[in-house]
């Protein structure tokens, strides 16, 4: 992150605060994915009364920041306050942050519990003390940010006195500064000039707040002890009851401010106070030309920002559409697969644990899910139609797909195995039911590459594989989706619930890998041949009696 700051490129960052409820946390993680697509250099997560930064609660600052790093692949700065906390407590927070893969801290004093400061013996009181502690205990592991106040901290004796405190934080080891929000470019320019005059030379990032509503502006100004310039108040007062008009004005005002800041050549980037909202900040960035409309990924998944996972370049393909689930299951691994994938039975890879994480489960309203999956199911064919609608027509048979995964009946499995005899030297398969009965022709414990790529100056990479050990754990999750998500939408004794339960109990999960990459893929032909065999007169009875090859 520090190198990008000093590169001369223009970039932006985003600030969020932890919500108060688990549902709010679910929504915020989704917002991280949406806004992460625009290409921020980093996000930061504030401390909030929803939870202490060291708490294990799902709404704590530490939990939200960890989710951003590990599950959304976002470089993340964790706010950490030090007032009324002992050195031992703060060091514990920092060790936990490091364990979770967080590498950036915004060191803050924090606010007093009441209206007045009550100094406690053995507790920290100033952000400078926190910066010194981080550097003495953790060296250069953390990049440290501190707060700057363009008009001086409201508790400081004077603007000059506040600058001396800021210089002390930088001298103690801070790498860069993020300012409190402001509304006029001259305010920032004056602040930067004053910082330079006192010997502060680190990057100073301006804090931008797109005005989004009259009441949110008043609340934020009250908390920040700031004054809104008269020319802005003259515009918003007449339209204070029109949120859309105020938001549009706020976007225009923020764009104009950012353009003036960027044109000055004094700012390395822009830091946005989002209030956990998407529209206004996204629109400002798009108008500035800073929003990445087409982000490029080096791998089929978003690369984790956790230092331990950054070099990970292999994952099982059956978790491709559920990357957060895979990360959660493998979070305690000592190392991660790379282009020289070995056996996943290696003790270095650890154990794939039972799946559960609060913000990875579906939180869509029941009515919305019923609309998607069907108000009522009358037969297995009703289920098939849901999949057909999802695929939106015939699958593309002209591509080079080397992997196919699906659920199917025991009857179809019998026909499929007959067909696969013809492709025994070309197609590897795993066929498993909910009880773990596994039919395969793949070598035991040997991963099988599904995708590969050639890049200048490096060996061939194989980013996605079918791994037989991981597949058996994925099987549990895949079958659970039937009854724990879809089936639960219906009354327990309803025909719809019974149909889903029947599929869960009797169907097989199948994956097929075509190993002849240079040739046109044969998997669709395998499917066609299977259905042709099923439809032959008398074939169905034979398949039901003996599904084995």
The pLDDT of residue 227 is 84
The pLDDT of residue 548 is 42
| Phi, psi for 309 (deg, rounded to 5) | -105, 0
Q: What is the pLDDT along the chain (549 residues), one digit of tens a residue?
A: 666 666 667 899 999 999 888 888 888 998 999 999 999 999 999 986 444 444 447 678 999 999 999 999 999 999 999 877 788 989 999 999 999 999 999 999 887 655 555 666 667 778 999 999 999 999 999 999 999 999 998 888 899 999 999 999 999 999 999 999 999 999 999 999 999 999 999 999 999 999 998 888 888 777 777 888 999 999 999 998 998 999 999 999 999 999 999 999 999 899 999 999 999 999 999 999 999 876 667 788 888 899 888 888 889 998 887 888 888 888 888 888 776 666 666 777 777 766 555 455 556 788 888 988 999 999 999 999 998 888 765 444 444 568 999 999 999 999 999 999 999 889 999 999 999 989 999 887 788 888 877 777 877 788 888 988 889 989 999 999 999 999 999 999 999 999 999 999 999 999 999 988 778 889 989 999 999 999 887 655 444 444 443
| Residues 351, 348: Cα–Cα separation, whole Å | 9
Residues in contact with 432: Cβ distance below 8 Å, sequence separation at least 6, in sequence order: 438, 439, 471, 472, 475, 508, 509
Burial class (CB in 10 A: 0-12, 13-18, 19+), 119: exposed
Q: Which of 156, 159, 104, 107 is nearest to 129 (CA)?
A: 107
How many residues are recorded in the chain? 549
Q: Which long-range contacts (CB under 8 A, 24 or more apart) does 529-532 make?
A: 529/419, 529/422, 530/412, 530/415, 530/416, 530/419, 531/415
- Asked if 76 and 62 count as a contact pair (C-beta separation under 8 A), the reply is no
- Asked if 270 and 258 count as a contact pair (C-beta separation under 8 A), the reply is yes
Tokens of 325: 């689930």
List beta partners, residue 514: 427
Query: Which of the residues are catalytic?
Result: 15
Tokens of 147: 């707060």
Tokens of 383: 């289920």
- In 183-328, the DSSP E strands lie at 204-208, 269-273, 315-316
The pLDDT of residue 49 is 40
The model's pTM: 0.82
| Residues 167, 60: Cα–Cα separation, whole Å | 31
Burial class (CB in 10 A: 0-12, 13-18, 19+), 244: exposed
The pLDDT of residue 6 is 64
For the chain, give every domain's residue range. 1-288, 309-535
Q: Which of 407, 406, 416, 399 is nearest to 451 (CA)?
A: 399
| Residues 376, 498: Cα–Cα separation, whole Å | 11
In the 3-class helix/strand/coil scheme, how is 36-58 assigned residue by residue?
HCCCCCEEEECCECCECCCCCCC
* Residue labelled with tokens 């707040």: 209
How many CB atoms sit inside 10 A of residue 372's CB?
13
Residues in contact with 174: Cβ distance below 8 Å, sequence separation at least 6, in sequence order: 107, 131, 144, 145, 146, 202
Residues in contact with 113: Cβ distance below 8 Å, sequence separation at least 6, in sequence order: 84
| Residues 154, 15: Cα–Cα separation, whole Å | 21
| Residues 214, 236: Cα–Cα separation, whole Å | 7
- Classify residue 436 as left (phi > 0), alpha (psi -120 to 50) or beta: left
Helix, strand, coil shares of the chain, percent, nearest 5, are 45, 15, 40
Quick one: fold of 1-288?
A: TIM Barrel (3.20.20)
- Asked if 56 and 14 count as a contact pair (C-beta separation under 8 A), the reply is no
The pLDDT of residue 2 is 64
How many CB atoms sit inside 10 A of residue 379's CB?
10
Cα 174 to its chain centre, rounded Å, is 27
């Amino acid at each position: 992150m520090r190198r990008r700051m000093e590169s001369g490129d223009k970039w932006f960052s985003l600030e969020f605060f932890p919500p108060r409820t688990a549902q709010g946390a679910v929504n915020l993680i989704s917002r991280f994915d949406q806004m992460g697509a625009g290409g921020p250099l980093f996000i930061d997560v504030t401390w909030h009364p929803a939870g202490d930064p060291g708490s294990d609660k799902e709404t704590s600052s530490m939990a939200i920041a960890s989710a951003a790093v590990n599950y959304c692949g976002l470089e993340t700065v964790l706010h950490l306050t030090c007032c009324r906390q002992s050195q031992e407590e703060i060091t514990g927070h920092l060790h936990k942050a490091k364990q979770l893969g967080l590498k950036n801290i915004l060191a803050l004093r924090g606010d007093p519990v009441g209206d007045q400061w009550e100094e406690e013996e053995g507790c920290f009181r100033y952000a400078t003390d926190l910066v010194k502690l981080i550097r003495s205990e953790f060296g250069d592991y953390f990049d440290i940010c501190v707060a700057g106040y363009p008009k001086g901290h409201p508790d400081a004796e004077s603007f000059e006195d506040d600058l001396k405190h800021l210089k002390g934080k930088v001298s103690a080891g801070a790498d860069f500064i993020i300012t409190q929000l402001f509304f006029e470019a001259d305010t920032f320019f004056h602040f930067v000039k004053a910082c330079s005059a006192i010997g502060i030379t680190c990057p100073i990032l301006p804090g931008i707040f797109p005005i989004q509503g009259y009441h949110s502006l008043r609340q934020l100004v009250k908390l920040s002890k700031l004054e809104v310039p008269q020319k802005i108040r003259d515009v918003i007062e007449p339209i204070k009851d029109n949120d859309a008009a105020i938001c549009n004005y706020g976007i225009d005002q923020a764009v104009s401010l950012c353009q003036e800041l960027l044109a000055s050549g004094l700012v390395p980037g822009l830091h946005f106070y989002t209030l956990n909202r998407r529209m206004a900040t996204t629109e400002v960035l798009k108008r500035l030309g800073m929003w990445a409309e087409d982000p490029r990924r080096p791998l089929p998944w978003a690369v984790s920002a956790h230092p331990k996972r950054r070099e990970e370049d292999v994952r099982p393909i059956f978790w491709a559409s559920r990357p957060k689930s895979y990360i959660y299951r493998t979070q305690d691994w000592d190392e991660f697969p790379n282009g020289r994938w070995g056996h996943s039975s290696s003790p270095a890879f650890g154990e794939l644990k039972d799946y559960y994480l609060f913000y990875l489960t579906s939180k869509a309203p029941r009515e919305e899910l019923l609309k998607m999956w069907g108000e009522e199911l009358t037969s297995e064919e009703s289920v098939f139609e849901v999949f057909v609608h999802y695929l939106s027509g015939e699958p593309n048979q002209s591509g080079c797909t080397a992997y196919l995964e699906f659920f199917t009946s025991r009857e179809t499995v019998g026909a499929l195995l007959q067909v696969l005899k013809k492709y025994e030297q070309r197609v590897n398969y795993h066929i498993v039911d909910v009880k773990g009965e596994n039919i395969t022709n793949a070598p035991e414990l040997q991963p099988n590459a599904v995708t590969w790529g050639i890049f200048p100056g490096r060996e061939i990479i194989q980013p996605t594989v079918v791994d037989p050990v991981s597949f058996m754990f994925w099987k549990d999750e895949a079958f659970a989706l039937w009854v724990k998500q879809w089936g639960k939408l219906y009354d327990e004794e309803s025909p719809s619930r019974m149909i889903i339960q029947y599929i869960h109990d009797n169907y097989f999960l199948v994956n097929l890998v075509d190993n002849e990459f240079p040739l046109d893929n044969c998997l669709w032909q395998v499917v066609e041949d299977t259905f042709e065999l099923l439809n032959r007169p008398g074939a169905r009875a034979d398949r039901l009696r003996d599904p084995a090859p």
